[in-house]
């Protein structure tokens, strides 16, 4: 994808490419069991911002990563993300009925099928990352470890468990940051690392700098999410607005108020971009993506 494309066009290109790749890498809607496969496709192929794929592609530009490989890791990341949304929306979790402007998976297909669709999407992500040729098998194993670590009990699933335990309980900022770092931050960091692993590799120092960036960008993403949950409408978000505060869930806005949450987001944006200084022009897409995350309205 041309480095000269303006950011909105670049973003649209990546989104379209990932949508098409997901359609190819998910089981066909006709294959048996068709209902399960339709539910999997319904949950993945419904637009979405594709923040994790965008991050993988933008990180890939630092390491001259081939787009065919970035496409694979982008699909695996998005399948994991979709699985987590399907399960989070279930009645025993957030019990939500609206996602990306459409009925949630269990509303459309029933709870049992939604449970299995989430399960099978997680598996499909690992199958894809193990199946497709991504060059050196040792690096490919490392990619699998990065993804599994990010979404397991010490990452995304663990963050969700902390969130469950925290409902109705006042969290301090460090606790809240830990929850966000695990629940959404871990997969966002994995996206940056995986994008870089698709390319020529980074020396340790540069890899750490990229990870520092991704930590801050991940927290920024979540703080903006908290702000939007309070300030945007359900129609704009495509998901139920105000549900975190209604459910007495811990959030940055609840903890520090809207004004200070906005300041905090501004600081995180600056710190994230600072972490990229040593990459120079190669990090242009990452800087643009950070601005997009900071300014998004949906």
Beta partners for residue 103, in sequence order: 98
Binding residue for a second copy, selected from 15, 18, 21, 37, defined by CB under 8 A? 37
Interaction between residue 124 and a second copy (CB under 8 A)? yes
Tell which residue, 15, 26, 24, has the closest CA to residue 121: 26
CB 148, min distance to a second copy, A: 4
CB 124, min distance to a second copy, A: 6
CA distances to 52, 54, 103, 187 from 214, in Å:
11, 12, 31, 10
In the region spanning residues 142 to 161, those forming contacts with a second copy, defined by CB under 8 A, are 144-145, 148-149, 151-154, 157-158, 160-161
Interaction between residue 247 and a second copy (CB under 8 A)? no
17 vs 38, beta carbon nearer a second copy: 38
Q: E strands along 22-110, which residues?
A: 98-99, 102-103
Binding residue for a second copy, selected from 3, 12, 33, 236, defined by CB under 8 A? 33
33 vs 47, beta carbon nearer a second copy: 33
CB 159, min distance to a second copy, A: 8
Binding residue for a second copy, selected from 3, 12, 31, 64, defined by CB under 8 A? 31
How many residues touch a second copy (CB under 8 A)?
50
Site string for a second copy, 84-123 (x = CB under 8 A): ---x--xxxx-----------------xxx-xx-xxx-xx
Interaction between residue 141 and a second copy (CB under 8 A)? yes
12 vs 34, beta carbon nearer a second copy: 34
CA 257 to chain centre: 25
CB 98 within 8 Å of CB 116: no
CA distances to 58, 106, 271 from 196, in Å:
9, 35, 20
Interaction between residue 69 and a second copy (CB under 8 A)? no
Residue 103 DSSP SS3: strand
Site string for a second copy, 167-206 (x = CB under 8 A): -----------x----------------------------
Dist. CA 97–CA 103, nearest whole Å? 5
How is residue 104 written in tokens? 């949630």
How is residue 149 written in tokens? 């670590």
Other C-beta atoms lying within 10 Å of the C-beta of residue 169? 9
Other C-beta atoms lying within 10 Å of the C-beta of residue 288? 17
Interaction between residue 20 and a second copy (CB under 8 A)? no
List, in order, residues 6 or more apart from 69 with CB less than 8 Å away. 60, 134, 135, 198
Binding residue for a second copy, selected from 131, 236, 278, 298, defined by CB under 8 A? 131
Q: What is the DSSP letter of 155?
A: T
Dist. CA 112–CA 35, nearest whole Å? 11
Residues of this chain that interact with a second copy (CB under 8 A) are: 27, 31-33, 35-37, 40, 83, 87, 90-93, 111-113, 115-116, 118-120, 122-124, 126-127, 130-131, 136-138, 140-141, 144-145, 148-149, 151-154, 157-158, 160-162, 164-165, 178
């Amino acid at each position: 994808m041309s480095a000269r494309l303006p950011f909105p066009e670049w973003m649209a290109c990546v989104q379209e490419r990932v949508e098409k790749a997901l359609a190819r890498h998910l089981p066909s809607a006709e294959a048996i069991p068709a209902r399960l496969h339709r539910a999997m496709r319904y949950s993945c192929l419904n637009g979405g911002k594709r923040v994790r794929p965008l991050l993988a592609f933008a990180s890939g530009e630092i390491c001259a990563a081939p787009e065919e490989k970035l496409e694979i890791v982008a699909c695996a990341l998005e399948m994991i993300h979709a699985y987590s949304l399907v399960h989070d929306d279930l009645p025993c979790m957030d019990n939500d009925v609206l996602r990306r402007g459409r009925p949630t998976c269990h509303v459309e297909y029933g709870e049992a099928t939604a449970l299995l669709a989430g399960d099978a999407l997680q598996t499909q992500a690992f199958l894809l990352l193990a199946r497709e040729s991504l060059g050196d098998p040792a690096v490919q194993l490392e990619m699998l470890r990065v993804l599994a670590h990010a979404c397991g009990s010490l990452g995304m699933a663990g963050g969700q468990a902390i969130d469950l335990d925290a409902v109705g309980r006042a969290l301090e900022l460090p606790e809240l940051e830990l929850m966000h770092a695990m629940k959404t931050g871990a997969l966002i960091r994995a996206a940056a690392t995986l994008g870089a692993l698709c390319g020529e590799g980074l020396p340790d120092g540069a890899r750490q700098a990229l990870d520092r960036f991704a930590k801050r960008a991940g927290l920024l993403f979540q703080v903006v999410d908290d702000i939007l949950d309070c300030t945007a409408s359900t129609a704009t978000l495509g998901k139920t607005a105000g549900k975190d505060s209604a459910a007495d869930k811990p959030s940055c806005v609840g903890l520090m108020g809207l004004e200070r949450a906005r300041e905090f987001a501004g600081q995180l944006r600056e710190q994230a971009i600072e972490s990229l200084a040593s990459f120079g022009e190669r990090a242009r897409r990452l800087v643009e993506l950070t601005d997009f995350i900071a300014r998004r309205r949906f």
